[in-house]
Structure 1
Amino acid sequence: MNWLADFFGDPANWSGPDGIPLRLAEHLEFAGLSLLLAMLVALPLGLWIGHTGRGALLVVLSANAARALPTLGLLVLVVLLMGVGTIAPVLIPLVALAVPPILVNTYEGIRGVDADLRDAAYGMGLRGGQVLGRVLVPVALPLILLGLRTAAIQVVATATVAAYVGLGGLGRYIIDGLATKRYPLAVGGAVLVALLALAVQGLFGVLQRFLVSPGVSGRQKIR
């Protein structure tokens, strides 16, 4: 507890280039851009594969890759190839980490919709894109959001690796604190990352409550 008091109670940690606001903004930039890029890749692909049934092998390979991906090793490799002039070396491994849970959950969500519901939508005269947008996506939304939440939490936690290659973010406190044996700095950075991950989880809980239909989530009461 004294370490946390030393870290959060030190005014020097709240201002300047090494201050908490700036490091938090850097961390959110890494995580936010990575998640956005992963969504642009994985969401359309998952919707298309789930709706058409084509390319299911890609989903299986993606799920297996997620379990075997050495994020830090990939980061070091990208840095060696590209250098550290931009944040691209950090974004590439983080996007690679975030794509699989989004892709797999989107695919599973669409494929898991009741076949009778799908047939009924076609029977009402809806076309392929309309069935996907008006029927399949709303029903699959809880699972899609779960994939997004999983990816976001993983990216927030893993974005600390940016500090290993001299970039910023909350990982800077952890790396610098351990390197210089300033343990309050390392513990404070770890706590900030954990709090940010909890905040992201809470945010997705709110999004699910507002975006998912009560009939799908089970909140709607039957009278």
Structure 2
Amino acid sequence: MTNLLKIEKLTCQRSNNLIFSNLSFEVKKGNNVEVIGSNGSGKTSLLRCILGLVEKKEGKILWKGQSVKESKHSFLKSCLYQGHELALKPSFTVLENLIYSHLAFGLKEEKILSALREVGLADSKSRTSSYLSTGQLKRLAIAKWLMGDHELYLIDEPFASLDQEGVHLVHKTIKKLNSRGCSFLFTSHKCSQVDSQEIHLDDYL
């Protein structure tokens, strides 16, 4: 099975405070890794470190066997990152948000509408995003997963602020994308029961 992302003995610190150390794991094609930890354990910092937004102190981050710095363009093009801030424009409609975020892919409107149907927002396509509930905004963010051509999804707390139906949607969407060969590296406070390798970040202090 193809190894997409490999983390080797990674250590990260903020100012002089150690966040985590000596962390190693692999994300293989079509598989998932779930990073579990309490608030402040470094889950978000790990994702940002992988993306080069936070400087690592020690260790290696490899994308398909190459340093992410050497393969930065290929790596970033192949990834979709979704943080706590969902990168949605409140003044845009539901449909406009998806069109705007995927201009570079030249997607047809029918594909966008198909994604909205899958997350239960097709009837809200003309609604201004500022009027959506938190759960609906999360669903709109999930619709982004179904668009584009990404190999790796880096998702911070995908289950936060979701009801049981929303949790089921995340499970279903991850499973669907896994079947296409896509992989997920995502964070959570507790085990999500997604089929994944679990990394307990509190063990790497």
TM-score (normalizing by structure 1): 0.27
Query: Radius of gyration: which is bigger?
Result: 1
Q: Which has the higher strand share?
A: 2
Q: Which has the higher helix share?
A: 1
TM-score (normalizing by structure 2): 0.29
